Chain A
Amino acid sequence: MNTELLYIEDDREIGTFVVQHLRSSGYEVKWLRSGEQAVEQAEGCKLVILDVMLPGLDGFTVGQRLKKAMPGLPILMLSARTAIDDKLQGLQFADDYVTKPFHPDELTARIEVLLRRSGNHAPEALQVKHLLVHERENRIVNGETGEEILLSGKQFHIFNYLLRHLGQIMTKEQIYESVWGEPYLEGDKTLMVHIRYLREKIEKDPAAPAIIETVRGIGYRVRA
């Protein structure tokens, strides 16, 4: 069974199109025209796409209720209002935010990121170049040789962090602070050393890394 999403949108034209797009991307979609039944209907869904401007209960109220009832359920806010004020108010409970008009591909990309981050991703292994990553079991297998790759704690956390932000460039500060849980001050060398060891384990040619890409001057990225 496909991953089920709850979509709350009052505009019929946008709703029709988004539902169509999401279904063609392989998701089950439950579409509500108002937020009244949101909490009941969210049962069994892996993610909620929530429009801000709704008749009756507004999106912020619905979002807060959902978050209270199901704290682990990722919420993606979708808004046609100005980005500035809503962004601050919305992001207090929302996990991500997309402003209308959005590119449909951006929407699906954000959904994938959110699902992966919350652990509600597809059960099959994620393929990154020659690696098969079984995220559920925290297992990485070399798809060509079938050998399991064992990572140290920090290496695993770094790799996992980059995988959760697949396709995004993460700065050294972001990686360090997420993995070590402390402010990045002189973490530069530490992080570089760990990335070097990580590459030695997962890359075919650590001197020319294909999986963990260095983005000069910014940070690192794992491309899908």
Chain B
Amino acid sequence: MSARRDGRRKQGFFARQSLLTRYILIVVSGFLFIPIIIPLASLVYMTTSAIGGGDDVRFTMKYGNAGEVEMDWHAEARSLRGGRPDEVNARLRALADEYPEASLFWVDAEGQTRLRLPEDAEGEGGVPDHWSADDAVRFMKTSVGGDPFTVVAFLGENNGEAAFMALQLPRKLVEAGPSSGSGTTFFVAFVCVSFVLFTALSLLFFLRIRKRLLLLQAAMSKRGEHGLPAPVEVKRADEIGGLEGAFNGMVEQLKAGRERQQEEEELRKKLISNLSHDLRTPLTVMRGHLYTLGKEPLSGAGKESLATLERKADGLGELIDNLLAYTLMTSGRYRLEPEPADVWRLARESAAAWYPVWEKAGIEADIRLPADPLVWKVDKLAFRRILDNLFQNIVRHAAGGRYAGLYAERRDGRLMLVIEDRGPGLSGSSEGKGAGIGLAIVEYLLREMGLAWERESSEIGTRILIYQSGSSETWGDSR
């Protein structure tokens, strides 16, 4: 017990929660993940790119971002005060070297396009030679948000002159186009991984529940001592733990119940034993005195009375034995131990014991049992008792027929043991007829061993057929 408690104490917060709480925790964390994951992903992305990918950014945006380029361009424009064409041309040529991918031009105060760089790109990109107000507006309209990225700056201090210069750069150079694409991939991957993680967690959770349930099931179906399942170890204080606890409680109750039942059975058995003893002791004394009396000189009538008394004493003894046996059997105290045995052999041995009794009663024994064994699963003692009771009945009720037959008969493909007499039949009256407890025992024992019987009775005799009940049984009638 202490080991079990230690084990429970060592477990973490999660393990101590109920299954419901744990599952809700998993689900809630799954939902919380969605709003958390996006900023988290950005953060992770930004930190990783700031740390490991800085050069990369500068490479893809070598002139800085759009704002920086714009600021630079305006600064350049401011520095070209006065707008002398030579000066501006020279400066633009220099700038063209700085921005090799760019196209540049400038327009003087009269709206004349002065220098267009690179020079071979003349007339392209919607740049007219002479700018009207329409042109300017159209140019600005097409340029805003378009590709190329266009910056227009008026020359002079505070960019206040009428002349202006324009810079057109492919947009990808000033906006992190390609890097924003890799960011999306990162996000998708991150969300996918999170989803997989969530699924895996749920799956793991359920697999562990399943495993514990299966273990519990195995423990329940396993039979330990006394045919009861052994208690299981309660590892966690959750619902399954509770189930395991309840199961253990049930096993305890069953065990207690079984013990109580055994005690009661023991008491009952003792009572029956004592009763048997108390009934038989006086009978034994009576029997003894009858025997002594039989040695005395008696008249014919005296001898006859004595014989009757002896017969009654014997019958009473058997009745007590059968009655107590039947009580024991029906209360489940008489446990049968069926094992494969040769039925013919058991019948022969039983007949051997009864033969002298039959001889004495003038009964001719006709025994024709096959030499090949017929193996049934029977409790030998119980089977002998069945035969004893049946043979006893022949002596008591059918001695007048002077015949006891014991043979095999095949009917519907199954071999049967037949016991036949030529008495007045079961319905006929007989001096020794009683409550039929002997036959009740036969009935009970046969049923317990999976055997069945049929009685064919008429006024010229009785045939008792014993066979294995159930057609699915295999028949080991020969080898």
| B91 interface hit (Cβ, 8 Å) | no
A122 to B86, CA, bound (A): 160
A104 touches B288 (CB 8 A): yes
B381 touches A82 (CB 8 A): no
A80 to B324, CA, bound (A): 12
17 contacts between A and B (CB under 8 A): A17-B288, A21-B288, A82-B272, A82-B276, A84-B325, A99-B280, A101-B313, A103-B291, A104-B288, A169-B353, A170-B352, A217-B348, A217-B366, A217-B368, A217-B369, A217-B406, A218-B365
Question: For B285, B289, B345, B381, which residue has the most chain A Cβ atoms within 10 angstroms?
Answer: B285
A21 touches B352 (CB 8 A): no
A88 proximity list for chain B (CB < 8 A): 381
A169 to B284, CA, bound (A): 27
| B70 interface hit (Cβ, 8 Å) | no
A100 to B316, CA, bound (A): 11
- What's the interface size class on A, roughly? 35 or more
A32-57 vs B, Cβ < 8 Å mask (1 yes, 0 no): 00000000000000000000010000
Q: A18-B288, A82-B324, A83-B325 are in contact. Are A218 and B355 (CB under 8 A)?
A: yes
A43–chain B nearest beta-carbon distance, Å: 28
6 smallest beta-carbon distances between A and B, as pairs? A217-B367, A17-B288, A80-B280, A169-B352, A101-B287, A101-B284
Known: A100-B280, A215-B352, A218-B367. 16 other contacts (CB 8 A): A17-B285, A80-B281, A81-B273, A82-B325, A85-B269, A101-B286, A101-B287, A101-B314, A101-B317, A103-B291, A104-B288, A173-B348, A217-B366, A217-B369, A217-B406, A218-B355
B348 touches A53 (CB 8 A): no
| A13 interface hit (Cβ, 8 Å) | yes
Q: A18-B288, A82-B324, A104-B288 are in contact. Are A171 and B277 (CB under 8 A)?
A: no
B276 touches A80 (CB 8 A): yes
A169 touches B355 (CB 8 A): yes
| B356 interface hit (Cβ, 8 Å) | yes
| A11 interface hit (Cβ, 8 Å) | yes
A102 proximity list for chain B (CB < 8 A): 284, 287
B367 proximity list for chain A (CB < 8 A): 216-218
User: Which residue of the partner chain A has the closest CB to B369?
Assistant: A217
| B133 interface hit (Cβ, 8 Å) | no
| B292 interface hit (Cβ, 8 Å) | yes
B293–chain A nearest beta-carbon distance, Å: 12
B248-284 interface with A by 8 A CB criterion: 269, 272-273, 276-277, 280-281, 283-284
A101 touches B280 (CB 8 A): yes
How many chain B residues have a CB neighbour from A under 8 Å?
41
| A174 interface hit (Cβ, 8 Å) | yes
| B442 interface hit (Cβ, 8 Å) | no
| B206 interface hit (Cβ, 8 Å) | no
Chain A residues with CB under 8 Å of chain B are 11, 13-14, 17-18, 20-21, 53, 80-85, 87-88, 99-105, 167-171, 173-174, 188, 215-219
A11 to B313, CA, bound (A): 19
User: Which residue of the partner chain B has the closest CB to A165?
Assistant: B352
Question: For B291, B352, B368, B406, which residue has the most chain A Cβ atoms within 10 angstroms?
Answer: B352
A52 to B352, CA, bound (A): 28
| B435 interface hit (Cβ, 8 Å) | no
| Partner of B351 from A14, A101, A218 at Cβ < 8 Å | A218
B277 touches A53 (CB 8 A): yes
A67 to B291, CA, bound (A): 32
B404–chain A nearest beta-carbon distance, Å: 11
| B220 interface hit (Cβ, 8 Å) | no
A83 proximity list for chain B (CB < 8 A): 321, 325
A105 proximity list for chain B (CB < 8 A): 291
| B334 interface hit (Cβ, 8 Å) | yes
B82-123 interface with A by 8 A CB criterion: none
A174 to B355, CA, bound (A): 16
A173 to B344, CA, bound (A): 11
B353 proximity list for chain A (CB < 8 A): 168-169
| B301 interface hit (Cβ, 8 Å) | no
B296-344 interface with A by 8 A CB criterion: 313-314, 317, 321, 324-325, 328, 333-334
A169 to B351, CA, bound (A): 9
| B371 interface hit (Cβ, 8 Å) | yes
B317 proximity list for chain A (CB < 8 A): 100-101
A101 proximity list for chain B (CB < 8 A): 280, 283-284, 286-287, 313-314, 317
A143 to B349, CA, bound (A): 33
B171–chain A nearest beta-carbon distance, Å: 104
A219 touches B284 (CB 8 A): no
A11 proximity list for chain B (CB < 8 A): 281, 284-285
User: Which residue of the partner chain A has the closest CB to B349?
Assistant: A171
A14 to B281, CA, bound (A): 8
A104 touches B355 (CB 8 A): no
A167 touches B356 (CB 8 A): yes
A170 to B333, CA, bound (A): 32
Question: For B280, B351, B381, which residue has the most chain A Cβ atoms within 10 angstroms?
Answer: B280
| Partner of A188 from B351, B371, B406 at Cβ < 8 Å | B371
A171 to B347, CA, bound (A): 10
A80 touches B284 (CB 8 A): yes
A14 to B292, CA, bound (A): 12
B477–chain A nearest beta-carbon distance, Å: 16
A215 proximity list for chain B (CB < 8 A): 352, 355, 365
A219 touches B352 (CB 8 A): yes
B313 proximity list for chain A (CB < 8 A): 101
A202 to B281, CA, bound (A): 46
A17 proximity list for chain B (CB < 8 A): 285, 288-289, 292
User: Which residue of the partner chain B has the closest CB to A14?
Assistant: B284
A216 to B365, CA, bound (A): 8
B324 proximity list for chain A (CB < 8 A): 82
A19 to B317, CA, bound (A): 22
User: Which residue of the partner chain A has the closest CB to B294?
Assistant: A104
B183–chain A nearest beta-carbon distance, Å: 88
B288 proximity list for chain A (CB < 8 A): 13-14, 17-18, 21, 104
A82 proximity list for chain B (CB < 8 A): 272-273, 276, 321, 324-325, 328
A14 proximity list for chain B (CB < 8 A): 281, 284-285, 288
B313–chain A nearest beta-carbon distance, Å: 6
B419–chain A nearest beta-carbon distance, Å: 13
A55–chain B nearest beta-carbon distance, Å: 12
